[in-house]
Structure 1
């Protein structure tokens, strides 16, 4: 990481565009400058023409997550639980078959995901299960924010998301 000096007015502008607590100046600037989109466009323009190596369905995977990160929808959520639930819903919509790996994510004494509320209630006291919108899955919500981030990170890694995307999503909880 490099350090740069900026004028006070620029610093205030960057800080005023923070969407959530803990968002780094680099993340804010990337979003404001639409840097990732520009890099992708430049790469697409300079890439040699070749046979596509992915199917159209594979290209779509990850698109909903990117849209979610670029929109204000997470910042509009009132609590970490709401952001957690929204992220899980988008992950399911993005790739339902890979989301099935959620059943493998467990704590020492608790299961985190199940197909029904009863299984989660049986796994521990005060699990506060909630249905993941648009999916057949339930998740426990009575965990601290750090654990929620860990659950999302494990799930996204199992689903094949890149480390940088996982990091961005986890910081938005």
Structure 2
């Protein structure tokens, strides 16, 4: 294992592409660069500079918009007025769906050891475990389990936001607002 230094912006980009808690930087980079682990062993040092090539403007613009709805939610009063962790959790999920319904589909990949957290219908969640207490996410076709502790709710939101491509700092702020 080698150690490399990257600037803060690149580090945040790599972290924002985390699909699940515990995924290593190497795994993230392999996925983003579409490099299989065997092929990664044969990379020459001269291939590394291509990682930092600048994006063209057309690709950069959507990223700039990502998070505006979430930022407004954090600054607004509606989230703060929610009385329980479940209500804040449900509100955050609704805003995430409204901001990017296509990327929200990543929710189906987020699972626990024994049960699923998201589904297209209540029955699938009820079948995945005892006392899941599924609730419909407002304005979306998704359902989520709500019978988890606050720490697990934070973890679910963090995993979803990472899979959707949000920046690490924003993910932490949203997770801690539950």
TM-score by length of 2: 0.66
Q: Does 1:169 align with 2:174?
A: yes
2:132 maps to 127
State the Cα deviation string for residues 121-155 of structure 1 (Å, max 9, x = none). 00011100000001000000000000000000000
Residue from 62, 67, 86 that aligns with 1:81:
86
Give the C-alpha shift of residue 74 in structure 1.
1.3
Q: Does 1:150 align with 2:158?
A: no
Give the C-alpha shift of residue 58 in structure 1.
4.6
State how many pairs are aligned.
123
Q: Which runs of 4+ in 1 moved over 2 A?
A: 51-61
Q: Determine which structure has greater relative contact order: mean sequence separation of CA pairs < 8 Å that are 6+ residues apart, divided by chain length.
A: 2
Give the C-alpha shift of residue 53 in structure 1.
4.0
Give the C-alpha shift of residue 55 in structure 1.
6.7
CA distance in 2, matches of 1:87, 1:131: 13
For structure 2, the 5+ residue unaligned runs are 1-55
TM-score by length of 1: 0.68
Map 1:40-55 to 2 at 5 A: 52-54=57-59
2:115 maps to 110
CA distance in 2, matches of 1:60, 1:90: 14
Q: What's the RMSD between the two structures over aligned residues?
A: 1.5
CA distance in 1, matches of 2:129, 2:172: 29
SS of 2:135 mapped into structure 1 = strand
1:98 maps to 103
1:7 maps to none
CA distance in 2, matches of 1:64, 1:126: 32
CA distance in 2, matches of 1:53, 1:71: 30
